[in-house]
């Protein structure tokens, strides 16, 4: 069925997963700041003007990186204990009272997940011509938020007061009532609303956004002025994007919008929602997917170094659009008349959306449709301070320029820095907030071998998660194949 396609689309994106400010740059994750720190190929998508700078390891002129990546999952609806005992535990199932409690927890709350994987990056620095960089990466993001009625329906299903009639497996129809026993609930087959509401009303205050892009980015930066007092650099980045999948469903103030498209490489039959027998494997699809859309983006940046001590940076990234083609869904607005589920059995939220989001025709399939949408554009501003060779600090703000899937939910702020007690170790920490996340304290460690010839390290976006209960963020950023020559 058509609703199953939406579910599979979202799950495919989520399983290989709101954007993060530093993306896949593992050396930046632990400090929460990257605008005035990123160099070589890690500048792609952050600030191409930084390619005009002399690298910290001045004797190195070529940088290559493989398989740098990061992921994070955050929710303002559950606790750290919930993650450990209920989310990670695949055997966990809700009791009836726990379902009601979860529905209250997720009212006006939700979850964010992202995966950024840099498959390959390379950069070359020259004294006269400037710096050049290339990067190929996959970016996957999922963001969800539940309005009060949506959360109630998701977790308790046909037991919600929204449905005043209940159809039993015997064929009898009874009125819905409170404090129903588990044995009585087991006999219910369907909930019916005799005064149904439009899905735009049912879903009010809710959204589900997901995206999966593969980017091929080339950036160039060069200094225009360079002396002991001032260095001024400008940069530009061009990128070609393959759109693998997108989901954008939301309802606010009684107005619902919806759009989704998915790569045909996954082999999903549009009308049945099933995978065809001769479809390529999921692994092969990730390696070389056929895009559901293509687009072009531009990054523009400016950077300054004042007195070889202060750094300033500003950039706008992902200016452009992507055109989705082929089999897509767009929004209608049917009524939610009935529901055949007792709600979620655990925190597998994506699966629970299937039964009440699209089974009344909210999304209508149109074959061969072309839809042009903006890329998730951002603007960023940063300031940094070089305090000798061992300490560097900075602050930044990253502002979303639209609400396209994959963008930050709101402006993100960060302050942090690096400390190198010895030449071969870099310790990073900072504080960040915004972007749809609560206050976080990231930490990271990078090992430097051969004067910068090889770097490896890992970082977490929030060490507080290990000690506090609310607003947990599970994350890991790492890279072990970063080389300079």
Residue-by-residue pLDDT tens, the chain, 485 positions: 344 434 433 444 343 344 455 556 788 888 989 999 999 999 999 999 999 999 988 889 999 999 998 888 878 888 877 777 776 666 788 888 888 888 888 888 888 888 899 999 999 999 889 999 999 999 988 888 888 888 888 888 888 989 999 999 998 999 998 888 888 888 998 889 999 888 888 888 888 888 888 999 999 999 999 998 999 999 999 999 999 888 888 888 878 777 778 777 655 544 444 445 555 444 445 567 788 889 999 999 999 999 999 999 999 999 999 998 855 666 667 778 888 878 888 776 655 444 444 444 455 656 556 788 999 999 999 999 999 889 999 999 999 999 888 888 889 999 999 999 999 999 999 999 988 777 889 999 999 999 899 999 999 988 888 777 777 777 889 999 999 99
Tokens matching residue 295: 């687009």
The number of angstroms, rounded, from the C-alpha of 275 to the middle of its chain's C-alpha atoms is 26
Question: For residues 65 and 480, what is the distance between their CA atoms, to the nearest angstrom?
Answer: 9
Structurally, how many domains does the chain consist of?
Answer: 1
Q: E strands of 325-472, at which residues?
A: 328-331, 335-339, 363-366, 371-374, 378-387, 391-400, 412-422, 425-434, 437-440, 443-449, 454-460
Looking at residue 90, its pLDDT comes to: 67
Contact 219, 237 (CB under 8 A): yes
Looking at residue 437, its pLDDT comes to: 76
Nearest to 28 by CA among 455, 428, 386: 428
Question: For residues 328 and 459, what is the distance between their CA atoms, to the nearest angstrom?
Answer: 38
Question: For residues 136 and 213, what is the distance between their CA atoms, to the nearest angstrom?
Answer: 11
Taking the model in full, what pTM does it have?
Answer: 0.80
Nearest to 10 by CA among 322, 363, 335, 252: 363
Tokens matching residue 470: 């609310």
Contact 53, 37 (CB under 8 A): no
- Calculate the alpha carbon distances from 416 to 10, 220, 311, 442, 444 in Å: 34, 27, 14, 9, 11
If 0-12 CB within 10 Å is exposed, 13-18 middle and 19+ buried, where does residue 151 land?
buried
Close Cβ partners of 246 (under 8 Å, ≥ 6 residues apart):
210, 211, 212, 259, 260, 261, 292, 293, 324, 373, 405
Question: Partners of 268 in the beta sheet?
Answer: 275
Q: Report the greatest alpha carbon distance in the chain.
A: 86
b/e code 205-224 from CB counts within 10 Å (16+ = b): bbbbbbbbbbbebebbbbbe
> DSSP label at 15?
H
Query: What range defines the domain where residue 175 resides?
Result: 2-484
Helix (H) or strand (E) holding 64: strand 62-75
Contact 362, 329 (CB under 8 A): no
Question: For residues 427 and 421, what is the distance between their CA atoms, to the nearest angstrom?
Answer: 8
Contact 211, 246 (CB under 8 A): yes
CATH number at residue 260: 2.40.160
Question: For residues 478 and 70, what is the distance between their CA atoms, to the nearest angstrom?
Answer: 6
Looking at residue 218, its pLDDT comes to: 97
């Amino acid at each position: 069925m058509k609703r199953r396609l939406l579910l599979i689309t979202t799950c495919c994106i989520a399983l290989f997963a709101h954007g993060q400010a530093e993306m896949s740059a593992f050396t930046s994750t632990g400090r929460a700041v990257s605008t005035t720190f990123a160099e070589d190929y890690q500048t792609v998508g952050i600030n191409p003007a930084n390619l005009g700078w002399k690298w910290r390891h001045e004797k190195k002129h070529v940088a290559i990186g493989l398989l740098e990546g990061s992921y994070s999952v955050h929710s303002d609806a559950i606790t750290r204990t919930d993650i450990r005992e209920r989310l990670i535990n695949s055997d966990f199932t809700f009791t009836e009272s726990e379902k009601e409690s979860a529905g209250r927890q997720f009212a006006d709350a939700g979850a964010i997940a992202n995966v950024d994987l840099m498959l390959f990056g390379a950069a070359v620095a020259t004294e006269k011509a400037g710096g050049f960089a290339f990067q190929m990466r996959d970016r996957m993001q999922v963001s969800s938020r539940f309005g009060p009625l949506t959360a109630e329906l998701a977790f308790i299903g046909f037991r919600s007061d929204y449905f005043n009639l209940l159809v039993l497996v015997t064929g009898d129809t009874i009125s819905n009532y409170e404090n129903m026993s588990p044995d009585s609930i087991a006999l219910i087959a369907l909930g019916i609303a005799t005064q149904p509401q439009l899905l735009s009303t049912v879903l009010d205050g809710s959204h589900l956004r997901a995206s999966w892009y593969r980017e091929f980015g080339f950036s160039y930066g060069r200094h225009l002025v360079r002396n002991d007092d001032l260095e001024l650099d400008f940069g530009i980045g061009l990128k070609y994007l393959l759109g693998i999948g997108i989901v954008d469903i939301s309802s606010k103030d009684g107005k619902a919008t919806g759009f989704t498209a998915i790569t045909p490489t996954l082999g999903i039959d549009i009308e049945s929602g099933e995978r065809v027998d001769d479809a390529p494997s999921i692994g092969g699809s990730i390696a070389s997917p056929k895009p559901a859309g293509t687009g072009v983006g531009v990054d523009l940046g400016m950077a300054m170094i004042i007195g070889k001590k202060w750094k300033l940076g500003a950039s706008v990234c992902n200016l452009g659009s992507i055109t989705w083609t082929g089999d897509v869904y767009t929004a209608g607005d049917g009524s939610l008349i009935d529901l055949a589920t007792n709600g979620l059995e655990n925190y597998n939220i994506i699966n629970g959306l299937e039964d009440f989001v699209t089974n009344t025709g909210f999304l209508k399939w149109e074959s061969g449709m072309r839809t042009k949408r903006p890329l998730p554009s951002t603007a960023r501003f940063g300031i940094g301070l070089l305090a000798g060779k061992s300490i560097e600090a900075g602050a930044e703000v990253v502002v979303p320029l639209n609400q396209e899937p994959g963008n930050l939910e709101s402006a993100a702020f960060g302050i942090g820095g690096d400390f190198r007690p010895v030449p071969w170790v870099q310790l990073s920490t900072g504080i960040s907030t915004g972007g749809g996340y609560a206050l976080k304290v990231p930490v990271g460690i990078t090992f430097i071998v051969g004067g910068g010839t090889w770097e490896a390290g890992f970082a977490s976006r929030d060490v507080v998660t290990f000690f506090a209960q609310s607003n947990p963020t599970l994350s890991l950023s790492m890279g072990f194949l970063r080389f300079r020559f």
